[in-house]
């Protein structure tokens, strides 16, 4: 999830360290919270085989943290040997530069609070279920793990160039809401989708949204909404396409894009590789 929220941040920031990390305090989770976690996990796990990328499904098969809210240090014992990433606990959204610095050092910030039962189907801000169920399995994939570190390194540079908005669009349309081609058809690898009960089928099956081929500059010039299902999804061929596209220095891209009017989230351009032109991309609010 990204850091664009107008309302006050949820979470307790009173005990953050200089790098915005906190202790997970796993013993403070209530039985009701562990139960809510089990229900969220069971629901999403039933949907993953039909809609998630093979890489995500493979990792989910090797992880089993559906019994209750996981302990970050227990997962780190598996994650570190796999891709040298580790999870750090945070109270919620952290400043962009702090977030990038963690990613650049292979530390993934995971929110410690869990949503309320009434938020079972949808939540705007990232809670522990979004961060954990949506993002953590992909950090076990070596190519994707490298991409996430490169994104962090790129974010630090973007911060210096005042280009965070353009870069966060790339994160949004790939890491959060990305689709990928597979031999069995289009699937998702986006954390915002994988942790969402409704959007995981919508992004693949609904005729409403656009589905367009990945195009780096096009994505960095396309606005997104944070509080509805996406109006357009971008499709990569494979993770190496993502990694290769983001290998070069982005400064010339930012110069090329600066000052250009961004496209609306529902736009379809003549230059787009259109997998599906949505019949109603903009949903009734
Ligand atoms: N903080 N904890 C947390 N999680 C995120 O996903 C996150 C963040 N801060 C900023 C952010 N994401 C995005 O805006 C970056 O892509 C810029
Ligand atoms: Fe996220």
Decide whether any atom of ligand 1 lies within 6 Å of the 96 Cβ.
Answer: yes
DSSP three-state, residue 251:
helix
Report how far residue 213's alpha carbon sits from residue 241's, in angstroms, rounded to the nearest whole number.
11
Tens digit of each residue's pLDDT (9 = 90 or more) over 137-160: 999 999 999 999 999 999 999 999
Indicate which residue's Cα is closest to atom 13 of ligand 1: 2
Question: What pLDDT score was predicted for residue 6?
Answer: 46
Residues 6+ apart with CB under 8 A from 105: 149, 152
* Three-point CA angle 176, 179, 180, nearest 5°: 130
Tens digit of each residue's pLDDT (9 = 90 or more) over 241-280: 998 998 899 999 999 999 999 999 999 999 999 999 999 9
Decide whether any atom of ligand 1 lies within 6 Å of the 94 Cβ.
Answer: yes
Homologous superfamily assigned to 26-276: Aromatic amino acid hydroxylase (1.10.800.10)
Decide whether any atom of ligand 1 lies within 6 Å of the 1 Cβ.
Answer: yes
Tens digit of each residue's pLDDT (9 = 90 or more) over 86-123: 999 999 999 999 999 999 999 999 999 999 999 998 88
Q: Where are the domains of the chain?
A: 26-276
Other Cβ atoms less than 10 A from the Cβ of 45: the count is 14
Distance between Cα 271 and ligand 1 center (Å): 30
Distance between Cα 56 and ligand 1 center (Å): 21
Q: Which atom of ligand 1 is nearest to the CA of 96?
A: 10
Decide whether any atom of ligand 1 lies within 6 Å of the 164 Cβ.
Answer: yes
**What does residue 52 show for φ and ψ, rounded to 5 degrees?**
-95, 160
Decide whether any atom of ligand 1 lies within 6 Å of the 90 Cβ.
Answer: yes
């Amino acid at each position: 999830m990204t850091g664009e929220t107008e309302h006050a941040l949820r979470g307790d920031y009173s005990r953050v360290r200089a790098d915005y990390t906190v202790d997970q305090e796993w013993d403070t989770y209530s039985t009701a919270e562990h139960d809510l976690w089990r229900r969220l996990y069971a629901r999403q796990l039933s949907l993953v085989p039909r809609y998630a990328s093979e890489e995500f499904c493979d990792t989910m098969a090797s992880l089993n943290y559906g019994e209750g809210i996981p302990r970050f240090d227990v997962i780190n014992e598996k994650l570190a040997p796999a891709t040298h990433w580790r999870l750090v606990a945070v109270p919620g959204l952290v400043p962009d530069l702090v977030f990038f610095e963690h990613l650049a050092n292979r530390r993934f910030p995971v929110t410690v609070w869990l949503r309320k039962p009434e938020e079972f189907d949808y939540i705007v801000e990232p809670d522990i279920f979004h961060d954990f169920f949506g993002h953590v399995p992909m950090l076990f994939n070596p190519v994707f793990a490298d991409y996430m570190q490169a994104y962090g390194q790129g974010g630090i540079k973007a911060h210096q160039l005042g280009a965070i908005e353009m870069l966060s669009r790339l994160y949004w349309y790939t890491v959060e809401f990305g689709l990928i081609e597979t031999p069995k058809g289009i699937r998702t690898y986006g954390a915002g989708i994988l942790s969402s009960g409704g959007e995981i089928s919508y992004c693949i099956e609904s005729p409403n949204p656009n589905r367009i081929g990945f195009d780096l500059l096009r994505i960095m010039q396309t606005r997104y909404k944070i509080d509805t299902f996406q109006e357009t999804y971008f499709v990569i061929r494979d993770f190496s396409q993502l990694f290769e596209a983001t290998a070069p220095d982005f400064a010339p891209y930012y110069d090329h894009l600066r000052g250009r009017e961004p496209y609306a989230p529902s736009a379809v351009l003549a230059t787009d590789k259109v997998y599906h032109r949505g019949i109603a991309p903009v949903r009734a609010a």
